[in-house]
């Protein structure tokens, strides 16, 4: 399974190596993860709550009975894209294997569908005990990824298997086994979302129904695949995505000028925003009275995609979107081919937004068309899933 974003929950159980997770937390932040720490009550004997709050820069909740009104075990389970528990003690392995939920961390684990990585650390005898071995096997069968402990010196003088691994090994294992689709690492992806608005006067504007959900889903998916994402958002009501650079614009001209600056040093542009084709010729800085509204003169906005295709360097990829109002697949496909060709795109996603479909919805359906005339029919799926399918195509074009 692949995490949808970069929000990581770091569980810390009550082993002496809990102090090593302070370094792990720092290294995870260096990797671009936003980390919430959930220490068990026992672990607070080794590292206190204040340390975790200072290091993570985030509020730390340590028990089920804090902030009850926000139902933290459910909200944290939903918001976390990945759970790493380091160290995981023998006791916690046993609890997880039997599905127990008697504290905040075990409740979150039970409620979460995110990938889970356990970093057991304990004395060799405990690690090799048949009970622990059976618990580890059961957890693996249930999809937990276990990073086997290192061999080396234990807390005392004895040497054996059970040591907490170096942070660098844990990070490598996360990247290899969970973030193994980090196929956009090192790539800079520019994504537009929402719909531009063209002001008529201080009160009114010409706009469209785009919610920005698709662009935000793409930004999240690209970031979770390792890309450095710059999101240009036009008039959306969506919450900011932590860790993603976002520029807010209102009009097509503002969007065009941000993209003119950002596109030359990006590897790809995904233009999912709905851009107004026209703007008001004579903006009035005073409210226009109703008698004056019989006619509003319009002038053409620049076609942003066409302009940027003109300065595109080899290796750069441009993805367009097209919202159409035809249920007929053949005409949808034809308009996709035409727009792809006229705007010199590498890929286009064309969809039918008639009767209130798709705009504002979490679901989408349509056609992906590429510059080799390959057509992929997309049945009704979530905008998150479409994001990954489109990014798969983008990755193959980026080489
Ligand atoms: N687009 C753009 N600049 C514009 C208008 C559209 O860059 N001024 C982009 C959109 O962001 C989208 C693609 O072009 O990715 C197709 O947009 P669409 O509105 O479907 O196409 P238009 O060329 O505007 O054609 P029409 O409105 O006539 O269907």
Residues annotated as catalytic (active site), given as ranges: 208
| Whether residue 322 has its Cβ less than 6 Å from ligand 1 | yes
pLDDT of residue 314: 95
What's the gap in Å between 332 CA and the centre of ligand 1?
A: 14
Q: Is 233 in the pocket of ligand 1 (CB under 6 A)?
A: no
Given this model, what pLDDT does residue 196 score?
98
How many A from CA of 395 to the centre of ligand 1?
23
How confident is the model at residue 1, as a pLDDT? 32
Tell me the per-residue pLDDT of 17-27, one tens digit each, with 9 for 90 and over.
999 999 999 99
Report whether residue 255 contacts ligand 1, using a CB cutoff of 6 Å. Answer: no
Give pLDDT, residue 182.
Answer: 76
Q: Which of 313, 216, 331, 205 has its CA nearest to residue 270?
A: 216
Q: Which of 207, 305, 309 to mutate to test the pocket of ligand 1 (most atoms within 8 A of CB)?
A: 305
> What is the tens place of the pLDDT at every residue in 383-395?
988 998 899 899 9
**Residue bearing the CA closest to ligand 1, atom 9:** 305
**Whether the predicted model's global pTM rises above the 0.95 cut:** no
Q: Which pLDDT belongs to residue 218?
A: 96
CA neighbours closer than 13 Å in the CB half-sphere of residue 379: 0
pLDDT in tens, the chain (399 residues): 334 457 899 999 999 999 999 999 999 988 778 899 999 999 999 999 999 999 999 999 999 888 888 888 888 998 898 999 999 999 999 999 999 999 999 999 999 988 999 999 999 999 999 999 999 999 999 989 999 999 988 777 788 899 999 999 998 888 766 665 678 989 999 999 999 999 999 999 999 999 999 999 999 889 888 899 999 999 999 998 877 899 999 999 999 999 999 999 999 999 999 999 999 999 999 999 999 889 999 999 999 999 999 999 999 999 999 999 988 999 999 999 999 999 999 999 999 988 888 898 999 999 999 999 999 999 888 898 899 889 989 999 997
Does residue 366 have its Cβ closer than 6 Å to ligand 1?
Answer: no
């Amino acid at each position: 399974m692949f995490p949808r974003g970069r929000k990581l929950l770091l569980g810390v159980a009550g082993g002496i190596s809990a102090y090593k997770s302070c370094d792990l937390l720092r290294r995870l932040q260096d990797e671009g993860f936003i980390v919430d720490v959930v220490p068990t009550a026992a672990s607070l004997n080794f590292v206190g709550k204040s340390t975790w709050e200072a290091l993570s820069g985030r509020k730390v909740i340590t028990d089920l009975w804090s902030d009850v009104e926000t139902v933290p075990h459910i909200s944290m389970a939903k918001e976390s894209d990945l759970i790493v528990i380091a160290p995981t003690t023998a006791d916690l392995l046993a609890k997880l294997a039997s599905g127990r939920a008697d504290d905040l961390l075990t409740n979150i684990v039970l409620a979460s569908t995110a990938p889970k990585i356990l970093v057991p650390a304990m004395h060799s005898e405990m690690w090799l005990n048949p009970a622990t071995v059976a618990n580890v096997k059961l957890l693996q069968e249930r999809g937990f990824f276990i990073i086997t402990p290192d061999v080396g010196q234990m807390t005392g003088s004895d040497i054996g298997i059970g040591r907490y691994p170096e942070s660098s090994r844990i990070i490598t294992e996360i990247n290899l086994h969970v973030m193994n689709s980090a196929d956009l690492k090192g790539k800079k992806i520019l994504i537009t979302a929402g719909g531009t608005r063209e002001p008529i006067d201080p009160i009114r504007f010409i706009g469209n129904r785009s919610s920005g959900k698709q662009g935000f889903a793409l930004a999240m998916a690209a970031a979770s695949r390792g890309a450095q994402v710059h999101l240009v958002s036009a008039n959306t009501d969506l919450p900011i995505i932590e860790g993603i650079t976002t520029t807010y614009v209102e009009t097509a001209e503002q969007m065009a000028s941000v993209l003119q600056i950002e596109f030359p040093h990006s590897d790809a542009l995904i233009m999912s925003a709905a851009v107004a084709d026209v703007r008001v010729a004579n903006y009035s800085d005073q409210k226009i009275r109703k008698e004056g509204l019989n006619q509003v003169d319009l002038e053409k906005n620049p076609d942003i995609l066409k302009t940027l295709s003109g300065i595109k360097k080899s290796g750069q990829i441009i993805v367009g979107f097209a919202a159409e109002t035809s249920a007929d697949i053949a005409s949808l496909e034809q308009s996709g081919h035409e727009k792809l060709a006229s705007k010199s795109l590498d890929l286009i996603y064309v969809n039918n937004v008639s009767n209130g479909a798709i705009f504002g919805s979490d679901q989408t359906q349509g056609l992906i068309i590429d510059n080799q005339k390959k057509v992929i029919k997309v049945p009704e799926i979530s905008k998150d899933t479409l994001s990954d399918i489109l990014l798969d195509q983008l990755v193959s074009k980026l080489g």
